[in-house]
Structure 1
Amino acid sequence: MRFQTPLVPARLIRRYKRFLADAVLEATGEEITAHCANPGSMMGLKEEGTRIWLEPNDDPKKKLKYGWRLSELPGGHWAGIDTAVPNRVVKEALHARAIPQLSAYGSVRPEVKYGEGSRVDFLLSEAGLPDAYVEVKNVHLRREGDWAEFPDSVTKRGAKHLAELSRMLEAGHRAVMLYLVQRTDCTRFRLSGDIDPGYAAAFDMARAAGVEMICHGTVIDRDGVSIGPEMPVDEVPQSRRG
């Protein structure tokens, strides 16, 4: 997935009201307000002075002329900020059959109604195979070592998706939760059960029922974001953590 226009560097002043961020453009020193397409807490990614990268636009229908896309991290690493990006990255990867566990499927349908008033991110179909219901979650929390963690705030909607996937299994389909890590300084994945114990419990129940838990990293640069290598998912149930 490539950004539509070249990104420009800025320094973050503050992120507020969930979807707004003030920043200073490096090239001109102008202070601007950018759209922050991220409803989460963005823990560790919103410190004042962080070097960020914005995507400009000239769309007259948009009030804000910049969108926050990336943050620079220590050691030359990157974090993707836009939570709409993972679905676009996964869609491209599914069409390219670049996700090994799902590469047998040729039909990729996004946003299909299922369950109780929900829409699954992707419904995959192929003759001779059970349909695969795939939910995608954006991950960019890192608090310790090389662990990526999810979620970064309480997500009742996320727990609901796990329950919906379990019901698809009962109906004879495949059910897959795919976590996409939008930062390049992590190599493995686990739950942040201290942040949302309810989601952790739902995860353990869904995995025990047979929902497939997959995690992939990403390749990120100023041009775009693409699917990266698979990451191991921590197998220790939240209930057995000390």
Structure 2
Amino acid sequence: MQFTKSLIKGKLIKRYKRFFVDVKINKEIVTAHCPNTGSMKGLLKEGNQVYLLKNDDPKRKLKYGLEIIKAQNNFVGINTHMANKIVNHGLCNNLIKELKNLKNIKSEVFFNKETRFDFLVEKNKQKIFIEVKNVTLFRDKSTAEFPDAVTSRGSKHLLTLIDAIKKGYKSYLIYLVQVQNMENFKIASDIDNEYYRNYTKAKKAGVNFLAYRCKITPEEIYIDKKLKIINE
């Protein structure tokens, strides 16, 4: 999956009000949109190399959007809106070995009045719900983690995936690791122990958990490797 335009390199100055980052491009300081509402723990060191996508929409106040941060020598894709696009590309191109040769890939499908999952697909006449979680946290050189802050919404999704199984669906949760060079994945139980307990409950109930790493460059981003989940 290629970026629609060439990304522009700069240096991070600061993030503020969740949706804004100041970036130095050459000698100019610009304010860019930050398409990530999470804590972005470990990524926001002043001076980190960043990559911005310029937009030409006259209706948008900010002319740049943040796409990649280079932290601890790893490219990290921070645009949470890209996660479903990357997974959709992976599903359509058989890059996720457990979910190859699917039929009827549908996005943003309601399971009930309160919850919709990222994908509803079909394989061998079995309907499958897929939820995607974007992962940007890493606290050592080889292990990505989720979540990076307490997430009641994430816990709700786990419990609803259990409900989907009870109603005859198969359930998958994909942790999309937008961090280079990771080999393992784990649930950050020290950050959100409630989420970890619900993860354990969902696993026992039959929810399938997968972690896949992305290949990331300033030109393209796509799924390239399955990671070992080391909580198990």
Query: AA paired with 2:224?
Result: G
The one-character-per-residue Cα deviations of 1:31-86 (angstroms, maximum 9, x if unpaired) are 110000001110111111111010011101111000000112344x3111101111
In structure 2, the residue matched to 1:59 is 57
Kindly report which structure 2 residues correspond to 1:75-154, keeping only aligned pairs within 5 A, or say none: 75=73, 77-126=74-123, 128-154=124-150
SS of match in other structure, 2:185: strand
In structure 1, the residue matched to 2:68 is 70
Give distance in 2, aligned partners of 1:235 and 1:48.
Answer: 32
Asked if the contact 1:148/1:188 (under 8 Å) is kept, the reply is yes
- Runs of 5+ in structure 1 lacking a partner? 237-242
Question: Residue 100 of structure 1: CA displacement?
Answer: 1.0
TM-score by length of 2: 0.97
The alignment status of 1:219 with 2:227, answered yes or no, reads no
In structure 2, the residue matched to 1:4 is 4
- Runs of 5+ in structure 2 lacking a partner? none
Greater than 6 Å deviation, 4+ residue runs: none
Query: AA paired with 2:87?
Result: V
Give distance in 1, aligned partners of 2:49 and 2:2.
Answer: 20
In structure 2, the residue matched to 1:163 is 159
Asked if the contact 1:95/1:106 (under 8 Å) is kept, the reply is no
Question: Residue 116 of structure 1: CA displacement?
Answer: 4.4
Kindly report which structure 2 residues correspond to 1:176-215, keeping only aligned pairs within 5 A, or say none: 176-215=172-211
The one-character-per-residue Cα deviations of 1:99-146 (angstroms, maximum 9, x if unpaired) are 1111131210000111341111000024x4310100000001011241
**Among the aligned pairs, what percent are the same residue?**
37
Query: AA paired with 2:81?
Result: A
Give distance in 2, aligned partners of 1:186 and 1:130.
Answer: 32
SS of match in other structure, 2:194: helix
Aligned pair count reads: 232
The one-character-per-residue Cα deviations of 1:190-214 (angstroms, maximum 9, x if unpaired) are 0111111111111010001010000
Query: AA paired with 1:24?
Result: K
TM-score by length of 1: 0.93
Give distance in 2, aligned partners of 1:84 and 1:207.
Answer: 26
Give distance in 2, aligned partners of 1:74 and 1:235.
Answer: 24
